[in-house]
Structure 1
Amino acid sequence: MGTTLFSSCSFLAQISSVENGISRVKAVACSTGSDSVDGVMKRRSVLVSGASLISSAVLGFPADGLAVVKQGLLAGRVPGLSEPDEQGWRTYRRPDDKSGGHGVGWSPIIPYLFSVPQEWDEVPVSIADLGGTEIDLRFASPKKGRLFVIVAPVLRFADNLGDDATIEKIGPPEKVINAFGPEVIGENVEGKVLSMNVEEHSGRTYYRYELEPPHVLITATAAGNRLYLFSVTGNGLQWKRHYTDLKKIADSFRVV
């Protein structure tokens, strides 16, 4: 297979090789297996039907390593969008003081970033949403698609990861998508995964997936004591017309 170029966050990273269907970026190790999820990962008793998500392109983020402050008492929707840049894209950064229904006694949620075109807006998260209180944020564009962010305590999946979890400790790419893909699409992901990529940005590893049907792009990573799932989706027509933007949104997701 010929060399493929991957573009994200205003840089070009060369995929060094493709092995077992998984592209490797920056020589980040990636192993797969067909065995069932066990050990580190605990099987969930209920598969949560997923809503669709859309994230935005990286056009320049604040430097990694920003300090995390204690969560305040601001609940619900808190503005976090920048002004549009020259191309009409805005960067969303989760406000430090935004609270969330993620359990009493948990550490503050480490902020995350992504970018969206100007017509994308935050939409309310309802308690009726599939995924419950672990859906931290939703965005949508009536014409282009939808996105949401799930932030879940890693203790729900493993009891030995501490407060400095990494996605590698939770599992390799194939195991992670088999375990958590149903969180997003509401059904088994077998036969639906078109691609799996492993990337490293500022020392943090991200697993990226493309699935169909339904059309969805998923990014998974871990930070602190939480797992982050970022998903971007659209219907068939939106996927056909706006795939480039949807992919750019999905590739922009970062945890600072």
Structure 2
Amino acid sequence: MVGRRRALASAAAVAACGVSVLGFAGGGLAANQGLLAGRIPGLSEPDENGWRTYRRPDEKSGGHGVGWSPIIPYSFKVPDGWEEVPVSIADLGGTEIDLRFANSKQGRLFVIVAPVRRFADDLDDATIEKIGTPEKVITAFGPEVIGENVEGKVLASATAEHLGRTYYQFELEPPHVFITATAAGNRLYLFSVTANGLQWKRNYKDLKQIAESFRVV
């Protein structure tokens, strides 16, 4: 009985921390770890269409190097079933990857938050237009997302504006990927949504909707 009580107490302590670990085929481990390691859940409950909104929590750690202001929060929408997955500094994008999400049947996404001063001086209040045209931005930063030159891979591009902020949107192939780029404060935001061939074919509409939902808030 004593052993059983100790086991129950241990399980309760874990539950109180809000730890949930799920496995994804080919996607490593997904985690919503409460306050542990700065991984704070930011997903809303599903709306009437079964979509959730993720908003980067103000308290989440990361990206606060010396001389940097806190990261301006961002948000996006995903269908129910997408989960946060751990970020590794060994990943493409390295320490500038702020977040990863995945669904083993639909695809995956990540957010790169990079210091603007890597690319331009005197842009503490950056806009994507100040950084460059859509062509310049995808040529310069597309390789940060796909790991190779983007020449001949851009199938479509568009510009959208929301609450006075401009977003550049791109579709690339190969690989199958949507990229949304914008800037705020002293950072460039690159939002990438990608999938394998079969996932892309089956979920193209939803993946595009995810990509187009990205906002800096």
* Structure 1 length-normalised TM: 0.70
Structure having the higher helix fraction is 2
> Of 176, 179, 190, which aligns to 1:229?
190
Considering Cα pairs closer than 8 Å and 6+ residues apart, tell me whether 1 or 2 has the greater RCO.
1
Which residue is 1:179 aligned to?
A: 140
1:119-134 to structure 2, matched below 5 A, reads: 119-134=81-96
- CA-to-aligned-CA distance 1:166-190 (integer Å, 9 cap, x gap): 0000000000000000000100000
Instruction: Tell me the SS of whatever aligns to 2:68.
Output: coil
Q: Distance in 1 between matches of 2:131 and 2:46?
A: 36
Deviation of 1:75 after TM superposition, in Å, equals: 3.9
Can you give the 5+ residue segments of structure 1 that lack an aligned partner in the other structure?
A: 1-51, 53-72
Larger radius of gyration: 2
* Structure 2 length-normalised TM: 0.82
> Of 140, 152, 155, which aligns to 1:194?
155
Q: Distance in 1 between matches of 2:172 and 2:91?
A: 21
Which residue is 1:12 aligned to?
A: none
Can you give the 5+ residue segments of structure 2 that lack an aligned partner in the other structure?
A: 1-26, 28-34
Q: Distance in 2 between matches of 1:232 and 1:127?
A: 19
* Count of aligned pairs between the two proteins: 184
Cα distance change, pair 188–253 in 1 and its aligned pair in 2 (3 A): same
Give the root-mean-square deviation of aligned CA atoms.
1.5
Which residue is 1:25 aligned to?
A: none
Contact 2:63 2:71 in 1 (8 A): no
- CA-to-aligned-CA distance 1:102-151 (integer Å, 9 cap, x gap): 52220110000101011100001012212111000000000000000000
Q: Note if 1:205 corresponds to 2:166.
A: yes
Cα distance change, pair 172–98 in 1 and its aligned pair in 2 (3 A): same
Q: Percent identity?
A: 84
Q: Note if 1:97 corresponds to 2:59.
A: yes
> Of 111, 116, 119, which aligns to 1:154?
116
